[in-house]
Amino acid sequence: MPGRMERAPDLAALVAAERRESANFFEELTPRSGARPASAPTGSPTGTRPPTRTGLDITVALDLDRRVPPRQRAVADSGVRKLTLSSQHDQKGNLDTPDQVYLSEIVGIAHEETPGEALGKPARRRRKALMGDIHRRGVVALGLTALVAPLTLALGAAPAQAASSCTTSTGPYQKQAEKFLGRPVDGRQSAADCKAIRAFQAKNGITPTIGYAGPVTWGVMDLINQQKAVGKNPNKSGKCPVNKGRIACVDLTHQLSWIQDGKKLVYGPVPVRTGRKGFVTRTGLTKVYWRDLHHVSTLYDVSMPYSQFFNGGEAFHSVGLSMWNPPGSHGCVNMTPKDAKKYWSLLRTGDDVFVYGHKPGT
């Protein structure tokens, strides 16, 4: 108002208020002592409502993400709702497989329902209210960054980012890494070894990218070796049904997928990226019940090209990430754009999908 004298703000009181609001925000996002995440349910038969998770699993991209280093997150699990704040994006800026948790309580989608009708305004209204509350609290928590304790102290330390120089340390899997990369196998770190290991880490999104031959780096290399060993006979064990006609198979143990028709291999096997620990891709026999070529998450407005949903919110879809980028998706079966496009051309609504095995580390 013209002529009105503005009172100088009480800085101490303002900071105290910021701290209280921040504390309340992060208290809600911190697991209670003794709380245990709910286990993922098994798949449901076709024609029934998709399995519903105990909690609400969501990944949110908001102003908070632009200020917090990638992969820092706070998780709340009150036994009713689990909220994950994450900013792991692919190379094109798409959120890393939010996996569209299409719970009946959120969007009402079921196998027997028409997806276009299920994804209606109620879901968007609830999302808007939820996102608005998170956004408001996130902005408050990050308000006076120069006056409030750094956010990293509240969320926990993030994985180390790529260093400007190589480590001189010899890793516990030095010889294995050297052999995998075609380097002289002497078990001693050299500048050339480090450069080769760093290049592999950068290509596959392994952090910290410092050329250290640790368990994660070797784990990815070992998985690639196992995938190569499978060759063109991925169903040698006979675990994927051969009496279903055309079926998409997903081997979690080897992180491979292929399409077969009886005993005939139609396409693949190709490397895939399935659910990480806490978000494991559910096993069992299901069917493709919804396909959306240009799918965009109703909850997050995130692009998921070539989506073919087969178990609740789990779908085959493409991402711009390495298939060996740890730790994995939030439940979906990630594929390269080329493979996701091929799956789109080969599969139809009603085709069978069989997921089996156990992903290493989950």
In the chain, domain spans: 13-155, 174-228, 234-356
Who's near 278: CB < 8 A, 6+ residues apart?
Answer: 37
How open is the CA angle 246-250-256, to the nearest 5 degrees?
115
Handedness of CA 307, 203, 98, 301 (dihedral sign): negative
Residue 10 is predicted with a pLDDT of 53
- 297-319 residues labelled b (16+ CB within 10 A) or e (exposed): bbbbebbbbbbbbbbbbbbbbbb
Residue 292 is predicted with a pLDDT of 95
Residue 16 is predicted with a pLDDT of 55
Whether residue 69 is predicted with pLDDT greater than 60 in this model: the reply is: no
Distances (CA, A) of 218 to 157, 195, 312, 346: 23, 15, 33, 34
Report d(CA 14, CA 2) in Å as an integer. Answer: 25
Q: Quick check: helix, strand or coil at residue 107?
A: helix
Number of CB atoms found within 10 A of residue 322's CB:
19
Beta-strand (E) ranges in the chain? 58-60, 75-77, 82-85, 246-251, 256-261, 264-271, 284-287, 290-296, 303-311, 314-318, 333-335, 352-356
Say if residues 257 and 235 touch (Cβ distance below 8 Å): no
Report d(CA 309, CA 318) in Å as an integer. Answer: 12
| pLDDT band for position 347 (cuts 50, 70, 90) | very high
- How many Å is the Cα radius of gyration of the chain? 23
Q: What's the average model confidence in pLDDT over 316-338? A: 95
Residue 165 is predicted with a pLDDT of 78
Determine phi and psi for 322, rounding to 5 degrees: -65, 140
Q: What's the average model confidence in pLDDT over 202-230? A: 96
DSSP assignment letter at 334: E
Greater confidence (35 vs 12) lies with 12
Length of the chain: 362
Report d(CA 182, CA 196) in Å as an integer. Answer: 9
Q: What's the average model confidence in pLDDT over 144-168? A: 43
Peptide bond into 208 cis (omega under 30): yes
Most confident by average pLDDT, 8-12, 161-165, 282-286:
282-286
Greater confidence (250 vs 163) lies with 250
Report d(CA 316, CA 292) in Å as an integer. Answer: 11
Say if residues 128 and 106 touch (Cβ distance below 8 Å): no
Residue 190 is predicted with a pLDDT of 97
Report d(CA 115, CA 130) in Å as an integer. Answer: 22
Whether residue 360 is predicted with pLDDT greater than 80 in this model: the reply is: yes
Domain 234-356, CATH number (from 3.30.365.10, 2.40.440.10, 3.40.50.1100, 1.10.10.10): 2.40.440.10
Determine phi and psi for 230, rounding to 5 degrees: -65, -35
Whether residue 89 is predicted with pLDDT greater than 70 in this model: the reply is: no
Percent of the chain with pLDDT over 70: 54
Greater confidence (220 vs 138) lies with 220
Residue 302 is predicted with a pLDDT of 73
pLDDT digits (tens, 9 = 90+) for 309-318: 999 999 999 9
Report d(CA 344, CA 354) in Å as an integer. Answer: 17
Residue 22 is predicted with a pLDDT of 41
Residue 301 is predicted with a pLDDT of 74
Q: Which of 10-19, 147-156, 296-305 is the least confident region?
A: 147-156
| pTM (2 d.p.) | 0.58
Greater confidence (145 vs 216) lies with 216
Q: What angle, 0 to 180 degrees and rounded to 10, lies between the N-to-C axes of helices 191-203 and 215-230?
A: 70
Whether residue 35 is predicted with pLDDT greater than 50 in this model: the reply is: no
Residue 77 is predicted with a pLDDT of 28
Among 131, 120, 105, which Cα is nearest to 50's? 105
Report d(CA 147, CA 15) in Å as an integer. Answer: 7
Q: What's the average model confidence in pLDDT over 224-237? A: 96
Greater confidence (322 vs 19) lies with 322
Whether residue 319 is predicted with pLDDT greater than 70 in this model: the reply is: yes
Active site residues: 317, 332
pLDDT digits (tens, 9 = 90+) for 107-150: 222 322 223 323 333 333 334 444 444 444 443 333 333 333 33
Residue 199 is predicted with a pLDDT of 97
Whether residue 19 is predicted with pLDDT greater than 80 in this model: the reply is: no
pLDDT digits (tens, 9 = 90+) for 247-295: 999 999 999 999 999 999 999 999 999 999 999 999 999 999 999 999 9
Q: Quick check: helix, strand or coil at residue 359?
A: coil
